[in-house]
Chain A
Amino acid sequence: MNTLDDHKTLLTSNASENKRLLLESMQATDDLIMVHSSIDEGQSVTVCYLAGMTDTQRLDKLLMLYKQDKQLLPAFQLEANVYTVEDAADALASGMSVLLFDDAGSGLVIDTIDVQLRNVEEPASEAIVKGPRSGFTESLQNNLALVRYHFPSSRLKAEFCKVGHLTKTNVTVLSVGGLTNPEILREVHRRIEEIPAAAILESNYIEEWITDNRGTMFPLIESTERPDRVIGALLDGRIAILVQGTPFALILPFVFLQAFQVSEDYAWNYYIGSVMRLIRLLSGMIGMLLPAFYVATVTFHHELVPTTLLQSIASAKEPVPFPAVVESFMMMIAFEIMREAGIRMPKQVGQAVSIVGALILGQAAVEAGIVSPIMVIVAALTGICTFTLPPTAINYVIRILQFGMTLFASLLGYVGIMVGIIMLLTYLASLRSFGIPYLGPLAPFHLDELTDVIVRRSHPNNNLRPNLFRAIERRRFRSKS
């Protein structure tokens, strides 16, 4: 038996031997079909493919064509020839058909994959009002095509690699030549190559391996379902990673303030876009701090509320037996449970949950004297606020931080909240995403870049790319003057 250095077995020129080896290598799986046929005079091949995954009609057609013209290659994979049993098995496993030539000791791989996948749809997690609506699907080829379609440029560069020694997942790294910083690109490749994982089933599998800080709950890499967001990022000098089998692409480097941006901002007039961004920032802050602020105010700083308001809060709070902290934790947890239930439950019962949630937790709980109406308002507003943010992981992080902040607030009032905020800021300032400070243009402070992060600049005024991502080409266009 001929073996290579890396324990691969070469294909032999004996047909039955090849079949035996292949079958063995494929764990004698039952859906492996091997048909012996002759193409030419004297030459015969074994056609191997996996049942159910292969478009047999297409295979037939291709074989017919192959008989007529041996040079017919476009229908086949680019690196069509395989020489080892393992490579053939891998090709089979990923849905190809393999033609094993009886006396050549090599095989030909034909792309006949036929799997039913989703069509291009509007992304469910990132809905928009204005702007392109197509979203990524599970097919890597299709995703790459989508990016290419929206960004038809010769400078767009795609680099393939396979990650995961079991799943051999196809991963594509996208960058723009002459724009993306090559050092960061090199670093990305280095980190991807070093992934020792067995299986890559989703883009998060990669994210957790290549992130700068594995102990953090903040996302240091962005993930998105939208091709236009990927393209926008590429044009800022960032790098995108597409992973086979998931509609979520990774974009890196990622800074904190980008969690408040959506691609739609650029589809609207820039005033509208700016206001929407500010609203999102504000609601992010409210989402994190409102319950804490409420708890601190009603337990420590009664003097600071306008008298009339305090009077109202006090009489509403009168029948409630729990301390404000406990009350707020109850409501916050109840809201999280409802939200989680809303995602998991079948669509048909959706109505039921929302009615039960709104009525039982809102109205009835107040009337029963379990929570005060003010607390319901606080919890509801807090909950709604986090929904304004694009669905990066920051969303979830903010919800978790809510609890921490509330705890701090219940211990030391406003001082506690401030200590919490300071520690959070310190932590955020210590994070880096591929060497880029996580607090973005805020710290280190760059006013000119902040104007396209906190608000948005008009397109004609947006000539300079953010220096943050160390793009090589800083100017977006050549101004006329």
Chain B
Amino acid sequence: MSCVNVKKMLAAALLTSLCFVLGGCKGSMELNEIHIVHSVALDEGKNGGVRVTAEIAKLSTGGQQPKGMQENTFYLTSEASSLFEAARLMRAKSDRTLLWGHTTAIIFSADLARGGIEKQIEDIRRLRQFRNSTLLYVMEGKAYESLKVSMPNVSISSQALRGLSEGGESTALTQQTSLIEVYEEIVNHYKDISIPSIEIVNDQVDRKLHLLQTKGLFAFKQNRLVGFMRSQETKGYLRASGEMDGSTESLACGAQKALTFENIKNRAKLKPNVDPQLHTDIKIEIYADLNLTSLQCDNITISPAVIARWEQELNANIAKDVERYMAFSQKHKVDLIGIGEMIHRKKPAVWRKLKGKWAENYAEASYSIHVYTRVDHTNFTM
């Protein structure tokens, strides 16, 4: 009996697999049939449409060693009323199917972002291919130009974009912002979003050389771009939100001389308080650890007293940054840190009253900034 069954089963298996094979492996895609898209730029198109530019890796054949991310790239552009449509239309210009799943960065043009990015973000999220960690940037001017800047070291600009985003950890001038984070905030409304800016600058030595630079964040109200935070505001924002890792601070001492400190730790404590008249008061406490890295001043012997003075000055400096940020955010009525949500979590009853007019309320809120810095180390020399 078992023998017959085996035969039957084998026949069934053969038949099924035959069906599958003859059906042609539908849905599968050989690597020779695809182009890998590395980064995408989104610009405003005509009639409210969107213009998509994709950076695609050229694959060089031959040779035993695959080049990895050192291949050259080419660009394709298409325009349509929605992002998905534009991406599909791009296939008409491409000799292979485009694989969007490896997109490392998406660059919005500021003009597009002023009209709202919710629609685009939604579209991108709806597609299963895009990674959650896809980086977002906003660029003043034409976004696609940034893709064409050739960086000195890497030939695929997505690599540059990824590398640049990580620079924020030591400079505090930009912040790595991924697709999923922006999407979450757009849906959750816990806080307003900010997206790092990218710009093209000339190299300071070789004027002809163009470079990409990330400096500053764009602030969004709901999903519309409303303002740009320069270095100081960005730093203040990152400090106040407690998301800063490393940065530099400097104190002037005499003419053209400065003390430079390296920020190594930063912690922020925010205590929003709503009084019965629904006036909000925000108490911002910042605790920072710094190390001395450069000492250009003459005749200074480092002693606890000197350090205490520096700390005082640093406190004032940092407080100024944070103040700049608060002024900026109140002017544009953007709550980038999510103070509203903090109130919501702590006092749901109060929040119910505040909810509808939080933007106005926030703009009028009073705040106090307390900075506590510590300088504990002076590195290799005393």
Assess A/B contact in the complex (Cβ within 8 A).
Answer: yes
- B17:A302 contact, CB within 8 angstroms: no
A residues 356-412 in Cβ contact with B at 8 Å: 366-367, 373, 407, 410-411
- A residues less than 8 Å from B5 (CB atoms): 215
Q: Please determine whether A214 and B28 come into contact, CB atoms closer than 8 angstroms.
A: no
CA distance A324 to B31 in the complex (A): 9
Taken residue by residue from 396 to 437, chain A's Cβ proximity to chain B (1 for < 8 Å, 0 otherwise) reads as 000000000001001101000000000000000000000000
- Contact A315 to B59, CB < 8 A, known contacts A299-B28, A324-B31, A411-B25: yes
32-55 of chain B: CB within 8 A of chain A: 32, 34, 36, 38
The smallest beta-carbon distance between B36 and chain A, in angstroms, is 6
Instruction: Give the contact stretch, choosing among B67-75, B143-151, B293-301.
Output: B67-75
B206 close to A (CB within 8 Å): no
5 contacts between A and B (CB under 8 A): A299-B30, A311-B71, A312-B68, A320-B32, A325-B25
Does A69 make an interface contact (CB < 8 A)? no
Q: Are A308 and B61 in contact (CB under 8 A)?
A: no
Q: Is A311 touching B101 in the complex (CB atoms < 8 A)? A: no
Contacts of B38 in A (CB 8 A): 307
- Nearest A residue to B130 via CB reads A303
User: How far is A318 from B60 in the complex, measured between Cα atoms in Å?
Assistant: 8
Per the 8 Å Cβ criterion, residues 1-49 of B in contact with A are: 2-3, 5-6, 17, 20-21, 25, 27-32, 34, 36, 38
- A280 contacts chain B at the CB level, 8 A cutoff: no
Residues of A within 8 A of B6 (CB): 215
Chain A residues numbered 423-453 whose CB sits less than 8 Å from any CB in chain B = none
**Contact call A407/B61, Cβ cutoff below 8 A:** no
B94 → A minimal CB distance (Å): 15
Q: How far is the CB of B251 from chain A (nearest CB, A)?
A: 42
In the complex where A215-B3, A302-B29, A320-B32 touch, is A315 in contact with B64 (Cβ < 8 A)? no
Interface residues of B in 89-109 (CB under 8 A from A): 99, 101-102, 104
Closest residue on chain B to residue A416 by CB atoms? B20
- A contact residues around B2 at 8 Å (CB): 213-215
A323 lies within 8 A of chain B by Cβ: yes
- Residues of A contacting B195 in the complex (Cβ-Cβ under 8 angstroms): none
Residue of A nearest to B20 (CB): A411
Indicate the member of B2, B25, B62 with the most A CB atoms within 10 Å.
B25
* Cα distance A239–B258 in the bound complex, in angstroms: 86
Docked-complex contact B29 and A410, CB < 8 angstroms: no
Interface residues on B, range: 35 or more
Query: Whole-angstrom distance between the alpha carbons of A411 and B60 in the complex?
Result: 29
Q: Does B129 lie within 8 Å of A303, measured CB to CB?
A: yes
Cβ-based interface call for A23 (8 A): no
* B131 contacts chain A at the CB level, 8 A cutoff: yes
* In the complex, per-residue mask of A209-248: 1 if CB is within 8 Å of any chain B CB, else 0: 0000111000000000000000000000000000000000
> What CA separation (Å) do A325 and B20 show in the bound complex?
14
Q: Cβ of B238 < 8 Å from any Cβ of A?
A: no
Known: A302-B34, A324-B30. A314 touches B59 (CB 8 A): yes
A195 at the interface (CB under 8 A from B): no
Closest Cβ neighbor of B70 among chain A residues:
A311
Q: How far is the CB of B112 from chain A (nearest CB, A)?
A: 25
Shortest beta-carbon distance, B179 to chain A, in Å?
14
B57 contacts A by Cβ under 8 Å: yes
Shortest distance from the beta carbon of A27 to any chain B beta carbon, whole Å: 36
- Chain A positions within 8 Å of B101 at CB level: 302-303
**A residues in contact with B57, CB < 8 Å:** 311, 314
A215 to B3, CA, bound (A): 6
B66 interface hit (Cβ, 8 Å): yes
Residue A317 is within 8 A (CB to CB) of chain B in the complex: yes
How far apart are the CA atoms of A213 and B34 in the complex, in Å? 47
Closest-by-CB residue of B relative to A214 is: B2
Please list the 7 inter-chain residue pairs (A to B) with the smallest Cβ-Cβ separation, ordered nearest first: A303-B101, A312-B66, A215-B6, A299-B28, A318-B61, A317-B31, A315-B66
Q: Inside 8 A of B129's CB, which chain A residues have their CB?
A: 303
CA distance A266 to B101 in the complex (A): 49
Chain B residue with the shortest CB-CB distance to A327: B30
Residue of B nearest to A407 (CB): B17
From residue B316, how far is it (CB to closest CB) to chain A in Å? 45
Instruction: Determine the distance from Cα of A310 to Cα of B66 in the docked complex, in whole angstroms.
Output: 11
A308 and B69 contact, CB distance less than 8 A: yes
Structural contact, B31 and A302, CB atoms closer than 8 A = yes
* Chain B positions within 8 Å of A317 at CB level: 30-32
A431–B372 alpha-carbon span in the complex (Å)? 71
Interfacial chain B residues near A367, Cβ < 8 Å:
64
Residues on A with C-beta less than 8 A from B99 are 302-303
A246 to B178, CA, bound (A): 67
Bound complex: CA A407 to CA B62 (Å): 29
Inter-chain contact A311/B69, CB cutoff 8 Å? yes
- A291-331: CB near B (< 8 Å → 1, else 0) gives 00000001110110001101111111111110111000000
Known contacts A298-B31, A318-B61, A413-B28; is A313 also within 8 Å of B66 by CB?
yes
CB distance from B189 to the nearest CB of A (A): 30
Q: Bound state CA distance, A214 and B3, in angstroms?
A: 8
Contact A311 B68 (CB under 8 A): yes
B77 → A minimal CB distance (Å):
22
Q: Which of B145-184 contact A (CB under 8 A)?
A: 158
In whole angstroms, what is the CA distance A410 to B17 when docked? 11
- With a cutoff of 8 Å between Cβ atoms, the chain B residues found around residue A300 in the complex are 27-29
Say whether A307 contacts B102, CB under 8 Å. Answer: yes
Q: A303-B101, A303-B129, A308-B69 are in contact. Are A314 and B31 (CB under 8 A)?
A: yes
Among candidates B17, B61, B102, residue contacting A315 with C-beta atoms closer than 8 Å? B61
Bitwise, A337-352 to B at CB < 8 A (1) or not (0) is: 0000000000000000
- Sample of 11 further A-B pairs with CB below 8 A, known A299-B30, A310-B102, A314-B59: A214-B3, A215-B3, A299-B28, A307-B104, A312-B66, A314-B31, A317-B30, A317-B31, A318-B31, A323-B30, A413-B27
CA distance A314 to B30 in the complex (A): 9
Q: How far is the CA of A381 from the CA of B62 in the complex (A)?
A: 24
Closest approach, in angstroms, between the C-beta of A421 and any C-beta of chain B? 15
Q: Which residues of B contact A308 (CB under 8 A)?
A: 68-69
Bound-complex Cα distance A307 to B103 (A):
9
Bound complex: CA of A411 vs CA of B131, how far in Å? 25
Residues in chain B near residue A314, CB distance under 8 A: 31, 34, 36, 57, 59
Which A residue sits closest to B69, measured CB to CB? Answer: A308
A315 near B25: Cβ-Cβ < 8 Å: no
Q: Say how far B98's CB is from chain A's closest CB, in angstroms.
A: 11
CA distance A300 to B28 in the complex (A): 5
